[in-house]
Structure 1
Amino acid sequence: MTATVVPARSPLRPYLSTTGRILRQLRNDHRTVGMILVVPALLMTLLFFIYQDAPHPPHGPTLFDRVGISMLGILPFIVMFLITAIAMQRERTSGTLERLLTTPLSKVDLLGGYGTAFSLAAAAQATVACLVSFGLLDLDAAGNPAWVVLIAVVDAICGVALGLLASAFARTEFQAVQFMPVVVAPQIFLCGLLVPRDQLPGWLQPISDLMPLSYAVDALQQVSQNPEVTGEMLGDLGVVAAFAIVALALGAATLRRRTA
């Protein structure tokens, strides 16, 4: 009598199943796909025309070059934070999340699947925005544009992670949106876009140091000003990645098994 051999279940199967499900949902949601892929590129185009006739030093970067390279990190961060927080909260209010948490699916597999799916969308978003900016709008940087793409992708992934974390503290989609001015707006004000971070009042500088968007903008400015890769740029990029990992870990720790 021959024994039947049952193939071992892959430990990655729950994670991969969750990732595939979210990607299929995104693919079928054409408005969300448009928001992810098109909106940042359109906003960069608008920024180009805003600064098109602005005066600039004859031998220095244009205003579009100075502001635009920072916006390539800021826009994906904003959009992915908003979309991820709303999408995750929709899973909660529909009861999908609660049903999933009654299965053997672990919190790590669940958030890992969500994070991976939205991170792939974030990578596509950042790549399209950078291709439009460098290829069509003539954005100029001293360093390799590939580093700009990488920084923008990592920053967008950080937006995904913070969106997942913020959704854990919201009970409705509207509440998820309300986290945007709390979590995102201060980072825009203090990241160095409006005023260089070393020129901020002394009591604001430590606050700026606690915000991932500050390091993303610093890394992008390093690429803008230096033809070679700098240790400061790599360090800033590592800090943004660390923020994303910590946010995902906190999101898993705060994930509720009941939506009410």
Structure 2
Amino acid sequence: MNGHRLLATTGRVLTQIRHDPRTIALLLLVPTLLIGLVAWIFSDTTVFDTIGPAMIALFPFIVMFLVTSIATLRERRTGTLERLLAMPLGRGDFLFGYTLAFGLLAIVQASIAVAFAVWVCGLQISGPIGLLLLVAVMDAVLGTTLGLLASAFARTEFQVVQFMPLIIFPQILLGGIFLPRDQLPAGLREISDWLPLSHAIDALNDVAAGVADYGPVWVDIGIIAVWAIGAVVLGSLTLRRQTP
């Protein structure tokens, strides 16, 4: 992997996105609007204080997965990836460049979402807001890397969407949004322990609650990081130059 080529890829991706207002709106505004909608639904209750941290994890994660996977797949279907890889550009340069580009966007996205949830929607946060933001950014980056991995196997945009029931939905169901993970049936709790979104939700809930020991939060962040790096590495090993 070459640093210059990686940064060149990152710059190219950011330039493309800068000229696509709809993608910018989808990345930066839609998660915030969905969080606001949830807060509005439960405006007369205290439910949002309970599920708000999970919403900060959920919506950016899904949006980053979709946008990244479709954008990467489009590079391959249009022949752009084949032309790039014919140059001195490796698969690692390509995927890590994409990860860095969308990671920078994830910082902006997470900052907007967290600020909106806390200062507009009134989400009560007892822990450090900086740590909450860090977890939110790592969660969005996780969605990016899983999207890159899905794009390595998909042939069409429709197939990318088909990966959601396999990659996204189980994590939502077992992540502790509908039922606390310690109340899940035997077997499902063990499965949820291996799913990265579960750790993102746990970490956000712990920070929001202001737990006495943030050690487990840093463990959760480490697990998310391992998943994200693993997804990019696996994606670089399986990425094809073009769609058959």
Report if TM-score (shorter chain) is over 0.5.
yes
Q: Which aligned pairs between 1:124-135 and structure 2 lie closer than 5 A?
A: 124-135=108-119
Indicate conservation of the 8 Å contact 1:91/1:97, yes or no.
yes
Corresponding residue for 2:225?
Answer: 241
Q: In the alignment, does 2:149 pair up with 1:165?
A: yes
**CA distance change for structure 1 residues 153 and 229 in 2, over 3 Å: closer, same or farther?**
farther
* Cα offsets for 1:149-179 (capped at 9, x unmatched): 1101001001000000000110011111211
Corresponding residue for 1:22?
Answer: 13
Using the alignment, how far apart are the partners of 2:35 and 2:3 within structure 1? 38
Q: In the alignment, does 2:89 pair up with 1:105?
A: yes
2:106 pairs with one of 101, 118, 122: 122
Provide the secondary structure at the position in 2 that maps to 1:193. coil
Using the alignment, how far apart are the partners of 2:213 and 2:20 within structure 1? 38
**Equivalences, count:** 244
Q: In the alignment, does 2:34 pair up with 1:35?
A: no
| Structure 1 residue 29: Cα displacement | 0.6
Using the alignment, how far apart are the partners of 2:215 and 2:112 within structure 1? 27
- Mind listing any 5+ residue stretches in structure 1 that lack a counterpart? 1-9, 55-61
| Structure 1 residue 259: Cα displacement | 2.3
Corresponding residue for 1:5?
Answer: none
Corresponding residue for 1:178?
Answer: 162
Corresponding residue for 1:77?
Answer: 61
**CA distance change for structure 1 residues 197 and 227 in 2, over 3 Å: closer, same or farther?**
closer
Provide the secondary structure at the position in 2 that maps to 1:100. helix
Indicate conservation of the 8 Å contact 1:80/1:160, yes or no.
yes
* Cα offsets for 1:189-243 (capped at 9, x unmatched): 0001111111111121121112100000110111122255511111111111111
Indicate conservation of the 8 Å contact 1:122/1:157, yes or no.
yes
| Structure 1 residue 258: Cα displacement | 3.4
Using the alignment, how far apart are the partners of 1:257 and 1:26 within structure 2? 22
Q: Which residue identity is paired with 1:238?
A: G
Corresponding residue for 1:58?
Answer: none
Provide the secondary structure at the position in 2 that maps to 1:36. helix
Q: Which residue identity is paired with 1:42?
A: L
Using the alignment, how far apart are the partners of 1:215 and 1:82 within structure 2? 21
Using the alignment, how far apart are the partners of 1:162 and 1:11 within structure 2? 22
Indicate conservation of the 8 Å contact 1:222/1:233, yes or no.
yes
| Structure 1 residue 255: Cα displacement | 1.1
Corresponding residue for 1:45?
Answer: 36
Using the alignment, how far apart are the partners of 1:229 and 1:47 within structure 2? 29
| Structure 1 residue 99: Cα displacement | 1.1
42-51 or 223-232: bigger deviation: 223-232
* Cα offsets for 1:130-167 (capped at 9, x unmatched): 11111111111110122111101001001000000000
Asked which structure has the greater CA Rg, the reply is 1
Indicate conservation of the 8 Å contact 1:27/1:33, yes or no.
yes
Indicate conservation of the 8 Å contact 2:127/2:209, yes or no.
yes
- Mind listing any 5+ residue stretches in structure 2 that lack a counterpart? none
Using the alignment, how far apart are the partners of 1:246 and 1:168 within structure 2? 14
| Structure 1 residue 249: Cα displacement | 0.6
Q: In the alignment, does 2:122 pair up with 1:138?
A: yes
State the percentage of identical aligned residues: 50
* Structural RMSD (CA): 1.3
